[in-house]
Homo-oligomer: A and B are copies of this chain.
Amino acid sequence: MKISLGPQTLIYPNPVLIVGSYDNAGKANVMTAAWGGIVCSDPPCVSVSLRKATYTFGNIAERKAFTISIPSEHHVKEADHFGIKSGRNEDKFSMTRLTPVKSEIVDAPYVKEFPVVLECRLLHMHELGLHTQFVGQIMDVKIEEDVAGEGGRPDIRKIRPFVYDHSSMAYYGIGGVVGKAFKIGNEL
């Protein structure tokens, strides 16, 4: 039997997206966002939803560009830190001793030490309420060479991304394979 919890933002899984942008003085900033994901295959687009109060909001609106860096478990502390502090009051790269890399494709920085990076130009801003959704066209995806697996494709077991559980406010790793997509469903 089902229990009603009322309206709330519950879903599984939430990603941990590190959004990179430049402020108007050219300082690299990053923030952590869990409200986002892929939204279109062609053109390839990703979205991330931000509150107007964030420093990143103004940066992206101004520069029309952002990056998304996906952290591995090794950097869970840094990824969490990026979601606690504001770039208004702190240089998050100096604080975490991570390295901003200027994208050669879009006007935004990404995190050198993180294994997967999406470089995006801003296509749309959708006002939804407390959050505004920024839709970016993915101009390139870059991965660290040591997370490439079979055929040069990114290997999730080497990337070791993690998920955010909003209910327990904890991060969880990725477990084992539970099935092949577009295949296991044919067994029925």
Q: Which of A126-143 contact B (CB under 8 A)?
A: 126, 128-131, 133, 135, 137-143
Query: In the assembly, what is the distance between CA of A81 and CA of B82, in Å?
Result: 38
Q: Which of A150-171 contact B (CB under 8 A)?
A: 152-156, 159, 161-165, 167-171
A141 & B15 in contact (Cβ 8 Å cutoff): no
13 residue pairs from A and B, CB less than 8 Å apart: A4-B141, A36-B37, A40-B49, A40-B129, A41-B129, A45-B128, A77-B185, A80-B185, A84-B185, A96-B188, A155-B167, A156-B165, A173-B177
Q: Check: A89 CB closer than 8 A to any chain B CB.
A: no
Which one of B80, B133, B153, B161 contacts A12 once the chains associate, using CB atoms below 8 Å? Answer: B161
Q: Report if A154-B10 is in contact (Cβ < 8 Å); known contacts: A3-B142, A47-B47, A184-B76.
A: yes
B175 & A174 in contact (Cβ 8 Å cutoff): yes
A130 & B181 in contact (Cβ 8 Å cutoff): no
A residues with a Cβ closer than 8 A to B are 1-15, 17, 34-47, 49, 68, 70, 73, 76-85, 95-96, 116-118, 123-124, 126, 128-131, 133, 135, 137-145, 148-149, 152-156, 159, 161-165, 167-188
Query: In the assembly, what is the distance between CA of A70 and CA of B2, in Å?
Result: 13
Q: Which 9 A-B pairs have the closest CB atoms?
A: A80-B185, A81-B185, A173-B175, A12-B161, A40-B128, A42-B130, A40-B131, A175-B175, A2-B142
A49's nearest neighbour on chain B, judged by CB, is: B39
**For residue A173, which residues in chain B have a CB less than 8 angstroms away from its CB?**
174-178
Which one of B17, B39, B96, B172 contacts A47 once the chains associate, using CB atoms below 8 Å? Answer: B39
A182 & B84 in contact (Cβ 8 Å cutoff): yes
